[in-house]
């Protein structure tokens, strides 16, 4: 069965090239113009409305600094400047995949995190395709949205969308699972944010854009298995190499030669362990999971590490938040050559 999840992402407005990579269309640029940061409001001046209309007709047209200076609202002018810089990044390469990769090279990302998150969502939508399982799609949310992590009394590790948890807190509509995820240490009494499991996966699809499903991240549970599958698909699509990823209990390897942190916390911990530095117990407790990545074709790896596993890890920060960086899987793998 196929599913059109995340329909509001604008994914269907993009086209594909012969290699199956995404190409930015004028309709997609128009779609971005309708983001709330740019869509005109009642107080918008005539110059702002005219600019929005002109870009809607010709979304690739040049816009000068002098034109932006005519906007009465300085915030609107800044938002358009950001959008134009983002458009420049998107159109600088023939595919969205290439543009995405280029964002993380050179002097660093110079577009807002929300726009990077949006690109990540669209690319994950493409990578997963219409036949993805609900568990895979929920696991993919972890690569684009910060997760709030809580360990229950029975040892269950639960992940929920951080923005959703905060929204429930603000609206006073928490319920016990929300309180648990926000504060920790509260016994689970009822479930208002549903925990995704094999029995209720069909219920995910109508709510795919609610981002209100809780995922168990314990070893042996389908959530971590799905995350491994999503990461392998992500690598295969971008880099053209097939890999296998599985969870590991520890790194017990006298020939440990390569590792990748899936977030800033994990990168720091792995680097210290690799260098033989002592890691405080509090930092070690932040590690959620270790993974082992292997290449189907060892010759795709750098010669000096060929045939050796690549270790991955993810860890929470001091506020029990998990902020994965899927780009790390693309720019830090030991490939023999890059296209």
Q: What's the pLDDT tens digit per position in 275-321?
A: 999 999 999 999 999 999 999 999 999 999 999 999 999 999 999 99
Work out the average pLDDT over 156-178: 76
Average of per-residue pLDDT values in the chain:
92
Work out the average pLDDT over 55-81: 97
pLDDT at 173 over 90: no
Assign residue 106 a region (left: φ > 0; alpha: ψ between -120 and 50; beta: otherwise): left
Using pLDDT thresholds of 50, 70 and 90, give the confidence band for residue 179.
low
pLDDT at 339 over 70: no
pLDDT at 188: 33
Report helix, strand or coil for 95.
coil
Longest dimension (CA), the chain: 68
Report percent pLDDT > 90 for the chain. 84
CB 229 within 8 A of CB 221: no
pLDDT at 154 over 70: yes
pLDDT at 227 over 90: yes
Per-domain boundaries in the chain: 10-128, 134-216, 222-331
pLDDT at 185: 42
Look-up: residue for tokens 């816009």? 63
The answer to whether the Cα torsion of 324, 300, 245, 131 is positive or negative is positive
Work out the average pLDDT over 248-258: 92
Tokens, residue 233:
């698909």
Using pLDDT thresholds of 50, 70 and 90, give the confidence band for residue 129.
very high
Instruction: Fill in the DSSP letter of residue 295.
Output: E
pLDDT at 187: 36
Tokens, residue 61:
């047209």
pLDDT at 177 over 90: no
Residue-wise pLDDT tens digits, 265-274 = 999 999 999 9
Residue-wise pLDDT tens digits, 190-222 = 335 789 999 999 999 999 999 999 999 999 999
Work out the average pLDDT over 330-335: 96
Using pLDDT thresholds of 50, 70 and 90, give the confidence band for residue 337.
confident
Q: What is the pTM of this model?
A: 0.91
Residue-wise pLDDT tens digits, 72-127 = 999 999 999 999 999 999 999 999 999 999 999 877 788 899 999 999 999 999 99
List residues bridging with 162 in a β-sheet: none
pLDDT at 49 over 80: yes
pLDDT at 254: 87
Using pLDDT thresholds of 50, 70 and 90, give the confidence band for residue 178.
low
pLDDT at 48 over 50: yes
C-alpha R_g of the chain? 22
List the one residue out of 45, 329, 4, 320 whose CA is nearest residue 183. 320
pLDDT at 174 over 60: no
pLDDT at 186: 35
Look-up: residue for tokens 């993805």? 132
């Amino acid at each position: 069965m196929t599913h059109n999840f995340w329909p509001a992402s604008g994914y269907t407005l993009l086209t594909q090239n012969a290699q199956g990579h995404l190409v930015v269309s004028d309709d997609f640029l128009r779609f971005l113009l309708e983001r709330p940061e740019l869509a005109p409001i009642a107080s918008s001046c005539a110059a702002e409305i005219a600019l929005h209309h002109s870009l809607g007709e010709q979304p690739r047209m040049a816009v000068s600094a002098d034109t932006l200076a005519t906007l009465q609202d300085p915030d609107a002018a800044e938002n358009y400047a950001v959008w134009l810089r983002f458009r420049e990044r998107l159109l600088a390469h023939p595919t969205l995949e290439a543009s995405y990769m280029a964002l993380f090279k050179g002097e660093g990302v110079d577009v807002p995190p929300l726009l990077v998150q949006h690109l990540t969502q669209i690319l994950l939508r493409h990578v997963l395709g219409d036949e993805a399982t609900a568990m895979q799609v929920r696991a993919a949310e972890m690569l684009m949205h910060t997760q709030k992590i809580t360990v229950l009394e029975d040892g269950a590790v639960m992940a929920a969308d951080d923005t959703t948890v905060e929204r429930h807190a603000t609206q006073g509509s928490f319920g016990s699972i929300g309180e648990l995820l926000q504060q920790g240490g509260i016994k689970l009494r009822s479930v208002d944010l549903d925990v995704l499991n094999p029995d209720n996966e069909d219920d995910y699809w109508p709510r795919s854009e609610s981002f209100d499903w809780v995922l168990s991240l314990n070893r042996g549970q389908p959530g971590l298995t799905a995350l491994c599958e999503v990461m392998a698909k992500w690598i295969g699509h971008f880099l053209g190499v097939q890999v296998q990823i599985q969870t590991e209990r520890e790194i017990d390897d006298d020939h440990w030669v390569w590792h990748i942190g899936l977030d800033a916390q994990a990168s720091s911990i792995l680097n210290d362990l690799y260098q033989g530095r002592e890691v405080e117990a509090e930092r070690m407790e932040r590690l959620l999971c270790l993974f082992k990545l292997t290449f189907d074709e060892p010759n795709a790896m750098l010669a000096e590490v060929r045939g050796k596993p690549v270790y991955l890890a993810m860890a929470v920060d001091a506020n029990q938040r998990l902020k994965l960086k899927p780009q790390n899987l693309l720019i830090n793998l030991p490939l023999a050559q890059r296209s």
